[in-house]
Structure 1
Amino acid sequence: MKHIAVLGGGIMGCCTALSLARLRATVTLFEQHPQVMSEASRWNEGKIHLGYLYAASRTLDTAKKVLTGGLRFKPIVEQLLETSIDSWITPQADHYLVHKNSVVGPDEIWDYFERVTDLVCEHPDVNGYLRDISSSDLRRLSATDVDFNYNAEQVCLATRVPEYSINTTSFADALARRVMDDPSISVLTEQAVQSVGSSDEKSERYAIHTDQDTFTGFDAVVNALWAGRPFIDKTVMGRTDFTTHHRYRVSAFLECPLDHSYHSSAVICAGPFGDIKHYGNGRYYISWYPAGLLAEGRNAEPPKTPHLSADDADSIVAKIKEGLGDILPGAADIISQADRVNVQGGWVYAQASGGLDDPSSSLHRRDKLGLLHHGNYVSVDTGKFSVAPYLAEVIAQALV
């Protein structure tokens, strides 16, 4: 029976641990925080990507990379969790609103959306998505077709695309419980991984060095870290040629009364704008990129995690309300109505450079996601939250 170390207790690490355990491997999961699924994997919008967001890449490369993972997300996680995720899925498909300052023009985006829709509908796994999208088509929407009643002076194109999201806080709770309860998985929290080496000079087994201790005897290692993953890769492979971009982003998670009139989800594209997700039962995610970007860095290790005070959180919510509310007045109404507002987030990693306001920035792509093998050491660039369960399945089948 193989003993495999998994580094990182986010969605990538947790799904990998469970997938390995299903194939009868023994797993030790290392997590630097007191709990697994406690940062970016918990605090994000939960979009299960089909590729529509990446119109600025101009090709279908990113859509092709994320599509299979998005379409297979539901059947894989339901198998891992041994329960249905239907109650966590957004009740309506996303509205995509093209901002007047988009880094891609409306005609180009429309053409891109049509090509992605063809790609989605022709995929053999199309019937496995969160909801039935097998007969999806695009149509242009007026301001009154979107229940947030978008500002037509700010939006030059609106359409509905067949993408849905899940409530990540509910999902994170369920995935964390499942990992902690699995007898084949040992979870070591508050263990920040510093490096990976050999157990000894004569052994092909691996050792994990953390800030607390050294753990030896692993047949394989999966580096599923999100922030700081390239730094650990460097300790194994000696690589220094990574293009690295760490961003610390926060958003607002809201609980609202049930008697309001806003029910849709909307994405402002393409560039550094924002979005709103309605998960049902008065629960929302709301973001405005300029307000939520608190830190960024381009080294193998991320910068120091920002401290967020109560006053900082209030200021961020006010900026979200102003920025997103100028485009979607209903978003400002939802913030005003909220009974509870929680500002949370985490580090986001990309093999990219530049900024989202630059049309040539590689942040507009995720075509480099995937696996990097070095013997029985596997480093995984998740790329997007939605791709993690599929990549976990691929890793488990390769290692066991």
Structure 2
Amino acid sequence: MRLPTGSQAMKRVAVLGGGIMGCCTALSLARRGASVTLFEQHPRIMGEASRWNEGKIHLGYLYSGSRALETAKKVLTGGLRFRPIVEQLLETSIAPWITPQADNYLVHKNSVVGPDAVWDYCARVTDLVLAHPDVGDYLRGISRGDLRRLAASDIDFDYNPELICQAIRVPEYSIDTNLFADALVRRVLAEPSITVLTGQVVQAVCTEDEKLNRYGVQTDQGPFTGFDVVINALWAGRPSIDKTLMGRTDVSMHHRYRVSAFVECPPDTPPHASAVICAGPFGDIKHYGNGRYYVSWYPAGLLAEGRDAQPPKTPQLSVEGADAVIAKIKGGLKDILPGAARILQQAERAEVQGGWVYAQATGSLEDPKSNLHSRDKLGVLRHGNYISVDTGKFSVAPYLAEAIAEALI
């Protein structure tokens, strides 16, 4: 992604937000000689949505509701480039964190996209993937034969054929986000050119001169001044900070607070392959290996949503509330994907966690016309040396971080 370059190298940089976008940007800039201050409102970096998500490294297959491939084109390069970029940042291989099997997409009878249309969409995405110059950099190798329709005999888990009308294997994989987050935190904290300030709620960004060359950041703990550039990498509430400097917010805004179950099963538990129920407000299961799973059911995990520049108050889950979410996930999955419900039943440990999800969209996933079925609005806006980033998806963040660092320094 090409960005407008500045007229001079940037020395002091403020990065707002300590999720994957902020941490990768901070590391990318520090490695190029910048002095970076990383602001995070929570007690630790990488402690919210960037840690507690399924870790899908998107190639675009999920967005069959976005029929013109605009979302696939937006997320594809970031997905293909994810592994080489993060392995360079972390200085280690991420191979042990990659899911052992490709995803199985199960088309629900109430899908907002019909089974034939889903297959056609997946075939067109595969053409896009195989034609991309970075196809060899993905988490695992990809060939045309990796996309295929599945008969019941091809799948090593049970699904309800009365509710699932088609099964497709796609060449998409995920990573264990907890292990990734731990490694990224270690690298950021070990980098001498990065100062991490936690417990800082960013309230505004202001200019210190008319040429937009110097900036200040106002937090609830006080002002911080003298920055050559500010990068707004916040996930929740990013538009409200944009407004303090740029006088604008995104045209449409949708904050959702979602949680899922992160599960550890006994080593002798029969494994369950990764599966995504599509397309709409359903659920999925992700198998990371060694008895570790992510299990979700969308209606059970959606705890709050808002359509303003600032998200609603973050929900707080009690122990009883977390137990109720797990019960609802089981209830949602048991008739469709009984093995996923059994994984929760057999778990030695099940933790309900999540965070805010942001999209420049309106509507609901039940509506086939809603633009929540796309992520084509992601990307970077620049106003002077103030940069605002809509990451769009977890998997796109390292690529955007690299592009920003290359443009600035």
The one of 147, 155, 162 equivalent to 2:156 is: 147
| Corresponding residue for residue 242 of structure 1 | 251
- Counterpart contact for 1:257–1:338, Cα < 8 Å: yes
- Segments of 5+ residues of structure 2 without an aligned counterpart are 1-9
Residue 148 of structure 1 and its aligned partner are, at CA, apart by: 2.4
Q: How does 1:75-154 map to 2 (within 5 A)?
A: 75-154=84-163
SS at structure 1 position matched to 2:375: coil
RMSD: 1.1
Q: Distance in 1 between matches of 2:386 and 2:44?
A: 24
- Counterpart contact for 1:148–1:262, Cα < 8 Å: no
Amino acid at match of 2:362: S
TM value normalised by structure 1: 0.98
- Counterpart contact for 1:121–1:136, Cα < 8 Å: no
- Counterpart contact for 2:303–2:315, Cα < 8 Å: yes
| Corresponding residue for residue 73 of structure 1 | 82
Q: Distance in 1 between matches of 2:49 and 2:149?
A: 33
- 1:327 lines up with 2:339 in the alignment: no
C-alpha deviations, 1:157-205, integer Å up to 9, x for none? 1010000000000000110111011001000100010000023568730
Q: Distance in 1 between matches of 2:261 and 2:58?
A: 21
Residue 139 of structure 1 and its aligned partner are, at CA, apart by: 1.9
SS at structure 2 position matched to 1:304: coil
Q: Percent identity?
A: 75
SS at structure 2 position matched to 1:56: coil
325-334 vs 350-359, greater mean Cα deviation: 325-334
Describe the shift of the 1:38–1:303 C-alpha distance in structure 2 as closer, same or farther (beyond 3 A): same
Q: Distance in 1 between matches of 2:264 and 2:275?
A: 17
Q: Distance in 1 between matches of 2:242 and 2:29?
A: 21
Q: Distance in 2 between matches of 1:44 and 1:254?
A: 12
TM value normalised by structure 2: 0.96
- Segments of 5+ residues of structure 1 without an aligned counterpart are none
Q: Distance in 2 between matches of 1:201 and 1:137?
A: 55
- Counterpart contact for 1:136–1:162, Cα < 8 Å: no
The one of 248, 255, 261 equivalent to 2:270 is: 261
C-alpha deviations, 1:120-149, integer Å up to 9, x for none? 111110110001114444222123422221
The one of 161, 172, 175 equivalent to 2:170 is: 161
- 1:397 lines up with 2:406 in the alignment: yes
Q: How does 1:217-228 map to 2 (within 5 A)?
A: 217-228=226-237
- Counterpart contact for 2:212–2:384, Cα < 8 Å: no
42-51 vs 132-141, greater mean Cα deviation: 132-141
- Counterpart contact for 2:213–2:385, Cα < 8 Å: no
Q: Distance in 2 between matches of 1:101 and 1:77?
A: 37
Residue 322 of structure 1 and its aligned partner are, at CA, apart by: 1.1
| Corresponding residue for residue 289 of structure 1 | 298
Q: Distance in 1 between matches of 2:168 and 2:285?
A: 15
- Counterpart contact for 1:221–1:376, Cα < 8 Å: yes
C-alpha deviations, 1:352-380, integer Å up to 9, x for none? 00000000001001001000010110000
Q: Distance in 1 between matches of 2:290 and 2:270?
A: 12
- Counterpart contact for 2:272–2:339, Cα < 8 Å: no
Provide the aligned length of Structure 1 versus Structure 2.
400
| Corresponding residue for residue 214 of structure 2 | 205
- Counterpart contact for 1:262–1:330, Cα < 8 Å: no
Describe the shift of the 1:180–1:241 C-alpha distance in structure 2 as closer, same or farther (beyond 3 A): closer
134-143 vs 3-12, greater mean Cα deviation: 134-143
- 1:184 lines up with 2:193 in the alignment: yes
